[in-house]
């Protein structure tokens, strides 16, 4: 079963009033953690509005926590999600994707641009990876692919929507399979 995400829906009149009344919490959060109003306000406001809605709609939260605490937790979550998404967007450029517009006077500079490997070396790496992956199941191949692109363990099982226990079992099977293949060589 997938966890429900807190999605925004139209605010009630009471929620609008609460949002207006406590709006300075966003600026307090920005100031406290050193974020930029210009860059981060538009991200944090969504966490803030989610907090307004969830706090109004859940009496159990109202009994246990102050609104300020809930608002800060939701803004913290929202900014964290933003930075994780930004990091995942950069993974592909950090892993050797080069623009075809790259200007190089000689091939040595081009090889240095793509990580100092020759075309032959890159092809051999790909062939070796194919041999290693051919005996893995589809889910195991997806796990390996995401790990190669720099995803953390938690990100992998969340992206694949599998239980952490299933993920770690598959990871163990991948390691065992790769070790048995490498022992042959």
Q: What is the CATH number of the domain that holds 114?
A: 1.10.10.10
Q: What is the pTM of this model?
A: 0.49
State residue 128's pLDDT score.
Answer: 63
CB atoms within 10 A of CB 76: 14
Last residue of a domain, one of 68, 94, 120: 94
Is 101 inside a domain boundary? no
Q: How far apart are CA 53 and CA 18, in angstroms?
A: 9
Q: Which of 145, 134, 120, 123 is nearest to 181 (CA)?
A: 134
| C-beta separation of 110 from 141 below 8 A | no
What number is the average pLDDT over the span 76-84?
Answer: 85
Report how far residue 116's alpha carbon sits from residue 141's, in angstroms, rounded to the nearest whole number: 27
| Domain count along the chain | 2
Specify whether the CB–CB gap between 95 and 84 falls below 8 A: no
| Domain presence at residue 32 | yes
pLDDT digits (tens, 9 = 90+) for 24-70: 999 999 998 898 899 999 999 999 999 999 999 999 989 999 999 99
Residue 52: alpha-carbon gap to chain centroid: 25
Domain housing 122: 107-184
Identify which of 77-81, 99-103, 108-112, 125-129 has the greatest average pLDDT.
77-81
pLDDT at 111: 47
Domain stop point among 67, 94, 121: 94
Q: What is the pLDDT of residue 166?
A: 92
């Amino acid at each position: 079963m997938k966890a429900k995400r807190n999605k925004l829906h139209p605010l009630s009149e009471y929620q609008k009033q609460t949002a207006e009344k406590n709006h300075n919490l966003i600026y307090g959060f920005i100031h406290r953690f050193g974020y930029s109003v210009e860059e981060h306000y538009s991200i944090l406001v969504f966490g803030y509005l989610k907090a307004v809605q969830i706090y109004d709609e859940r009496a159990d939260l109202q009994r246990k926590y102050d609104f300020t605490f809930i608002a800060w937790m939701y803004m913290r979550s929202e900014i964290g999600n933003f930075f994780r998404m930004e990091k995942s967007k950069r993974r592909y450029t950090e892993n050797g994707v080069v623009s075809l517009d790259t200007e190089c006077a000689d091939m040595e500079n081009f090889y240095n641009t793509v990580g100092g490997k020759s075309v032959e070396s890159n092809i051999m790496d790909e062939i070796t990876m194919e041999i290693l992956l051919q005996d893995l199941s589809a889910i195991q191949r997806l796990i390996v692919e995401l790990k190669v692109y720099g995803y953390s363990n938690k990100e992998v099982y969340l992206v694949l929507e599998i239980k952490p226990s299933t993920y770690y079992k598959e990871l163990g099977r991948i390691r065992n399979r790769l070790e048995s293949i490498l022992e042959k060589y």
